[in-house]
Amino acid sequence: MQLTKEEFKKRLERKLDNYFEEDVKSASNSDLYAAVSAIVRDGYTPQWRRIRIAETNQKQKQVYYFSIEFLPGTLLKSNLLNLGWLKTVREALADLHLDLDKIAAAEPDMALGNGGLGRLAAAFMDSLASTGYTGNGNGIRYKYGLFKQKFVNGYQKELPNDWLKKEDHWEVRRESKSVLVRFGGKVNMVDDNGWMTPQYEGERVVRAVPYDVAVVGYKDGLTNTLRLWDAEVPPEEELNYPTITDRRRVEDLTSILYPDDSNYEGRLLRLKQEYFFVSAGLQSILNYYTKDLDNKDLTKLPNYVAVHINDTHPAMAIAELMRLLVDEHRVDWDTAWNITQKVMSYTNHTIMAEAMEKWDVNMMSQLLPRIMQIITEIDRRFCVGLKGHVSDDVIERTRIIKNGQVQMAHLAIIGSHSINGVAALHTQLLETKVLKDFYNLYPDRFNNKTNGITLRRWLQIANPELSDLLDETIGKNWRNDSDEMLNFEKYYHDTKVLHKLSDIKLDNKKKLAKFIKERTGIVVDPTAIFDVQVKRLHAYKRQTLKLLHILKLYQDLKAGIDHPKRVVIFGAKAAPSYVFAKQVIKVINETANMINNDPDVNDKLKVIFLEDYDVSLAERIIPAADVSEQISTTTKEASGTSNMKLMANGALTVATMDGANIEIKDAVGEDNIFSFGLNKDQVYKYYAEHSYHPREMYENDAVMKKAVDALIDGTIPNCSAEGQALFNNFLGDNEQFLVLADFEAYLRAQAKIEQTWKQKRLWEQMSLVNIAHSERFDVDKTIERYAEDIWHLKKLEVEKAD
């Protein structure tokens, strides 16, 4: 639908008047945000309805993406962009002396995710709608999103993220679509006319109420639905919840997002959350299938429905679909199993053992007695089916229930027709190491789907200046077809374009410098190298290696050895219970303090740790980055996605050959990336031979020793305990992440960065190549591959309203 500036202004006045009895002059940014978002809602609502009707009529297959996290960030600008209104609205507001960016800043971040996995789920939603596939998100409407991070004396403190305090403007409560979810109690199987049917006794019933968020596709795309479930006391069950505590226990189900992104803890509430949204989602799918589509033949379900399991958190979907088919719809077990396997597919996001979900059999039996019975039966049949075909060892290693625990990854693999990793190396490691036994059993189920990013958000919204430069050079069609970005490489020798590129970067850096000044009071020089590491804080991501590099630079500067000016920028949250990660934050903050206030350094080096890294902050930092730090221990980062966002914005990557970094290198060529460090075979060799002896390295390398010693010799004030903890960690023979093993290679890569920085033209050329090749990581390409290879979807045909 077209919108003119004049029409928008009229609507704005009307909304402000109706909602707040204000006009454009008197309204606050938050009033303006409410009014503009209401106009946007009016813009997509008719289309949203029309598409739902078209879906029901055309009965095409749909995918349901089950994810315990969705991390969309803010939606105003992306909805405006996708409606094709962004420019008009920005200009209309400017006419009224209003700034869209300031108004948009009033929107709270929808931070219903920890990091990569949740952000990927949100990107997939946007992409499905934009590419024209009917895809639905299924998740949890957490009352509190990921905690807000504050630093107090350099320590991380967590504050609740009450994002719903000011009502969410995008969600629609759909009470009529509520379903009931049952927990606990006892289950007895009784014969009901020849069908063994469960009878429940003493179970608790919770009502799941969906809140739907429209996912507006780009330009001629669809408007899909992200369905997030909230837990309530069912009105008909009021008497069973007599006390406030009883009621609160129900509300608690959806109250918090677990803040650990790579460490698994078997908490009962987490298990409840997992079953809650899985059961609600599947019931709602079957309601749609049997009622709206009026289909009674469940054997045809796989022709209409694909359910995707994002990591193992929703893996109970396999058992729950079996329960619904067998118990409620009286489908026989073998038929039900066949349907389930055809419907389900699973993505693995980690190879780290400590992140693998395992649930205690006793806990699961108590909370979900029928589900535990079904998983036990799946496991039994799996073992019986293999007996005699493979060795007993293989059966023992691959079965679902072992040592009193349910291995969720095994359930996910056994119950799905497709298992994918998220980057080529990651998938290869799944096939040859971590899931080798399963790969031998089911080689055809394994496939790779390298992650992608929403270029719409990371270029068009976050970096409009660079987007304009692409328009001016290669034409506007890259906005619809990212392949065309490759044409940008033709400007490799074009001095004018290279200058423009560097002006845009400088401009973005000035804006970030201003923001840094406002937030921290620290002045940074926008002409310095902006060296960025933004991601969750984790030992394997090795913010510690960056820290050692900073200490080395500091020592050089103190000794009169010169380096190009550099501003190191961190953004990272640590899981609240992750002691080591919090110690790293403290040491980095104290190091920053020391360096930023040392007159000897003379502004040659600044270290900025920005609080509360989230999607909104990413949109400010990433367009201003010169260097992208992707320095995880090889084999540990499944893919990474900040690497892709930074590349698209013209940052040059310094990287270990881990995750998708390898594919970035393939795309840009060796000369346009700074790669370094141990390869996967060297890493596995250390592990296999127990041959990592960091103390020897430390004793034999004076530069390393000096940097590491700074942690304990009193150089860095106010963190002797934490500095000692890092020191001990680095020097231990069982240090898993091999920080010191990569130190020297990392310094060499950084020296090369300094050399290149001095050749301004070469730097701009490399930057240009990186931007051009970021098309490879366009999430729409990733989604096309999922749609074709895994979900077997066709695009929906819809007529536009006008």
Q: Which residues bind ligand 26Q (CB under 6 A)?
A: 114-117, 120, 258, 260-262, 264-265, 270, 313, 349-350, 355, 357, 422, 451, 637-641, 659
Shortest distance (Å) from residue 23 CB to ligand 26Q: 45
Cβ pair 723, 653 in contact under 8 A:
no
Q: How far apart are CA 661 and CA 658, in angstroms?
A: 6
Nearest to ligand 26Q of 22, 158 (CB atom)? 158
Nearest to ligand 26Q of 369, 421 (CB atom)? 421
Which among 370, 410, 509, 535 is annotated as catalytic?
535
Q: How far apart are CA 495 and CA 491, in angstroms?
A: 8
DSSP H/E element including 360 = strand 358-360
Q: How far apart are CA 742 and CA 109, in angstroms?
A: 36
Nearest to ligand 26Q of 272, 349 (CB atom)? 349
User: Is 536 assigned a catalytic role?
Assistant: yes
For 560-570, b where at least 16 C-beta lie within 10 A, e where not — what string? eeebebbbbbb
Question: How many residues are present in the chain?
Answer: 802
Nearest to ligand 26Q of 457, 479 (CB atom)? 457
Shortest distance (Å) from residue 602 CB to ligand 26Q: 38
For 689-744, the three-class secondary structure string (H helix, E strand, C coil) is HCCCCHHHHHHHCHHHHHHHHCCCCCCCCCCHHHHHHHHHHHHCCCCCCCCHHHHH
Shortest distance (Å) from residue 310 CB to ligand 26Q: 9
Residue closest to ligand 26Q, measured at CB: 116
Shortest distance (Å) from residue 425 CB to ligand 26Q: 11
Nearest to ligand 26Q of 641, 774 (CB atom)? 641
User: Is 541 assigned a catalytic role?
Assistant: yes
User: Is 349 assigned a catalytic role?
Assistant: yes
Backbone angle region of 181, left / alpha / beta, with phi > 0 → left and psi within -120 to 50 → alpha:
beta
Shortest distance (Å) from residue 309 CB to ligand 26Q: 13
User: Is 376 assigned a catalytic role?
Assistant: no
Nearest to ligand 26Q of 117, 707 (CB atom)? 117
How many Cβ atoms from other residues are within 10 Å of residue 557's Cβ? 18
Shortest distance (Å) from residue 450 CB to ligand 26Q: 10
Nearest to ligand 26Q of 526, 677 (CB atom)? 677
User: Is 514 assigned a catalytic role?
Assistant: no
Q: Which two tokens stand for residue 527?
A: 């002409």
706 closest CA partner among 538, 558, 581: 558
Q: How far apart are CA 667 and CA 769, in angstroms?
A: 9
Q: How far apart are CA 719 and CA 22, in angstroms?
A: 52
Which residue matches tokens 């496939």?
Answer: 447
Identify the sign of the CA torsion 456, 459, 460, 461. positive
Which residue matches tokens 């400010």?
Answer: 620
Cβ pair 363, 266 in contact under 8 A:
yes
Which among 227, 308, 505, 645 is annotated as catalytic?
645
DSSP H/E element including 223 = strand 223-232
Q: First and final CA of the chain: distance in angstroms?
A: 6
Shortest distance (Å) from residue 430 CB to ligand 26Q: 13
Nearest to ligand 26Q of 651, 779 (CB atom)? 779
Which among 11, 148, 308, 536 is annotated as catalytic?
536
Shortest distance (Å) from residue 121 CB to ligand 26Q: 9
Nearest to ligand 26Q of 350, 589 (CB atom)? 350
Q: How far apart are CA 82 and CA 460, in angstroms?
A: 10
CA angle 218, 220, 226 (to 5 degrees): 55
Nearest to ligand 26Q of 348, 583 (CB atom)? 348
Shortest distance (Å) from residue 283 CB to ligand 26Q: 23
Which among 313, 349, 549, 566 is annotated as catalytic?
349
Cβ pair 221, 202 in contact under 8 A:
no
Q: How far apart are CA 260 and CA 576, in angstroms?
A: 8
DSSP H/E element including 683 = helix 680-689
DSSP 155-213: EEEEEEE-TTTT--SSEEE-GGG-EEEEESSEEEEEEETTEEEEEEES-EEEEEEEEEE
C-alpha atoms less than 13 angstroms from C-alpha of 526 in its C-beta half-sphere: 19
User: Is 641 assigned a catalytic role?
Assistant: yes
DSSP H/E element including 224 = strand 223-232
Which among 641, 653, 656, 782 is annotated as catalytic?
641
Radius of gyration of the chain (CA): 27
Nearest to ligand 26Q of 358, 563 (CB atom)? 358
Shortest distance (Å) from residue 415 CB to ligand 26Q: 19
Report the SS3 class of residue 62: strand
Shortest distance (Å) from residue 402 CB to ligand 26Q: 18
Nearest to ligand 26Q of 315, 731 (CB atom)? 315
Shortest distance (Å) from residue 274 CB to ligand 26Q: 9
DSSP 569-584: EEE----TT-HHHHHH
Catalytic residues: 349, 535-536, 541, 641, 645
